[in-house]
């Protein structure tokens, strides 16, 4: 290549180190290492110094061994390992060769996914990670994890864990700001649902709907809570009660600003005004003035126009995301998009008749301010997904 041609293009060696350092900070170190592995010594030095986040969840054993053989772990800040079907035994394989207490004391974030319950000696070494601020573990029974004192991790601010209904062990973790707890039914231990009193952010995911009646009272001691998320992944046996939540939150969580929830419930058409009753319980002045709500209305049967209108009137000024089942009516969809003033996304499940479909071209014709620049629309059979950028 002659000099004239070379100056017309930028080649990778011409780019400054600062640019690569910035790029590396956004990438998984595993991908970064193998993208630059065969390049010159300059890039090898950059990889060793600035690749600090390593996620081996989808890595082959060859990738794992290559990185550990050629790169020191001393600069790593984040590590994720997994025992899923594609990387079975990865966690044990790693720490048998590279003990936590020797190779990873500088870590700030550690994720151990699908930890095997027959080999939990790894947890006894967590106390050596004195710089750890974020820990993710799953799955482990509350009785078992209570045998390991995580309160020694003085810098720990965020814990993500999949465990059972016995959450008493979390009370020792007064240093936590954020707790994300996935509840699974896995044992016969007593049902003890309680949380660290100093939490600011709490996310609860119920894999089943059993014992969801314990949730409201469980937050009664969280006076510093500012964000609460509750997701019920199975249909429950009772309908959600906004007034019950209002009483608990207003009396026990005075600082709460955001309440995000998904409560799946049986929609029974023979019960008069069932949806109206549920919506009314979450549309008191307290909810409208005090809280920022993210709600999902989910039902196996379609809502009628009257119920839709009440949803819009109630949540127009607050709700950012909604998923709803309605009869096929373009007018109803337009009403949601036009009148839900804070909406970020809308998921509509509807009956498609006469091969009619909502398109961006049709939306532009409705003159409600939506077009290809501020609305991304996906249609998958009976589902319409609107991703909005107008607010």
Instruction: Please tell me the pTM assigned to this model.
Output: 0.77
Residues belonging to the chain: 391
pLDDT at residue 391, as a whole number:
53
Choose among 358, 347, 350, 329: nearest CA to 388. 347
Confirm if 200 and 183 have CB atoms less than 8 A apart. no
Edge-to-edge strands, sheet with 158-163: 53-55, 78-82, 109-113, 134-138, 158-163, 178-183, 201-206, 227-232, 258-262, 292-296
Digit-coded pLDDT (tens) for 125-173: 999 999 999 999 988 888 888 888 888 899 999 999 999 888 999 999 9
pLDDT of residue 300: 46
Residues 183, 158: contact at Cβ < 8 Å? Answer: no
3-state secondary structure of 7: coil
Q: Are 40 and 67 in contact (CB under 8 A)?
A: no
Give residue 273's region: left, alpha or beta (phi > 0; psi -120 to 50).
left
Q: Provide the residue ranges of all domains of the chain, joining segments of one domain with +.
A: 267-390
Tokens of 311: 């949803």
Helix (H) or strand (E) holding 295: strand 292-296
Give the whole-angstrom CA distance, residue 200 versus residue 17: 39
Alpha carbon of residue 99 to chain centroid: 29
Residue with tokens 């058409």: 269
Residue found under tokens 């709907």 = 209
User: What's the pLDDT score for residue 283?
Assistant: 79
pLDDT at 93: 92
The answer to whether residues 348 and 381 touch, using CB atoms and an 8 Å cutoff, is no
Nearest Cα neighbor of 308 from 291, 288, 324 is 324
Among all chains, which residue has been given the structure tokens 């999949």? 162
Q: Whole-angstrom distance between the N-terminal and C-terminal Cα of the chain? A: 51
Which of 88, 71, 84 has its CA nearest to residue 29? 71
Q: Phi, psi at residue 39, to the nearest 5°?
A: -85, -175
Regions of the chain short of the pLDDT cut 70 = 1-10, 186, 267-272, 289-305, 327-329, 351-355, 390-391
- Give the model's pLDDT for residue 390: 58
Q: What are the residue ranges of helices labelled H in the chain?
A: 3-6, 17-24, 29-36, 41-50, 61-70, 90-97, 100-103, 142-145, 215-218, 242-252, 274-281, 285-290, 305-315, 330-339, 360-365
């Amino acid at each position: 290549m002659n000099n004239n041609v070379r100056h017309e293009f930028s080649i990778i060696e011409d780019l400054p180190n600062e640019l690569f350092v910035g790029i590396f900070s956004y990438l998984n170190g595993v991908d970064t290492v193998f993208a630059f592995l065969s390049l010159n010594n300059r890039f090898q030095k950059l990889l060793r110094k600035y690749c600090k986040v390593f996620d081996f969840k989808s890595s082959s054993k060859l990738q794992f061994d290559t990185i550990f053989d050629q790169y020191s772990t001393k600069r790593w800040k984040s590590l994720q390992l997994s025992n899923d079907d594609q990387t079975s035994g990865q966690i044990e394989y790693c720490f048998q060769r590279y003990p936590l207490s020797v190779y990873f004391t500088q870590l700030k974030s550690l994720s151990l996914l699908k930890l095997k319950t027959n080999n939990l000696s790894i947890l006894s070494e967590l106390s050596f990670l004195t710089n750890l601020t974020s820990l993710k573990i799953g799955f482990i029974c509350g009785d078992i994890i209570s045998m390991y004192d995580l309160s020694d991790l003085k810098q720990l601010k965020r814990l993500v864990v999949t465990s059972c209904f016995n959450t008493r062990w979390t009370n020792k973790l007064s240093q936590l700001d954020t707790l994300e707890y996935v509840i699974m039914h896995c044992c016969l231990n007593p049902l003890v649902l309680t949380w660290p009193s100093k939490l600011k952010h709490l996310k609860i995911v119920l894999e089943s709907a059993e014992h969801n009646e314990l949730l409201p009272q469980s937050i009664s001691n969280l006076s510093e809570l500012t964000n609460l998320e509750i997701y019920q992944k199975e249909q429950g046996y009772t309908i959600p009660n906004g007034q019950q939540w209002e009483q608990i939150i207003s009396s026990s969580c005075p600082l709460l600003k955001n309440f995000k929830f998904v409560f799946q419930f049986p929609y029974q058409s023979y019960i008069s005004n069932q949806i109206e009753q549920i919506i009314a319980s979450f549309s008191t002045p307290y909810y409208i003035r005090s809280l920022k709500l993210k709600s999902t209305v989910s039902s196996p049967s379609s809502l009628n126009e009257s119920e839709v209108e009440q949803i819009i009137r109630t949540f127009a000024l607050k709700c950012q995301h909604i998923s709803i089942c309605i009869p096929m009516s373009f007018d109803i969809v337009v009403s949601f998009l036009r009148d839900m003033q804070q909406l970020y996304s809308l998921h509509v499940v509807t009956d498609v008749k006469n091969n009619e479909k909502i398109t961006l071209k049709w939306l532009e014709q409705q003159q409600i301010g939506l077009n290809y620049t501020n609305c991304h629309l996906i249609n998958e059979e009976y589902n319409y997904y609107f991703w909005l950028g107008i607010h």
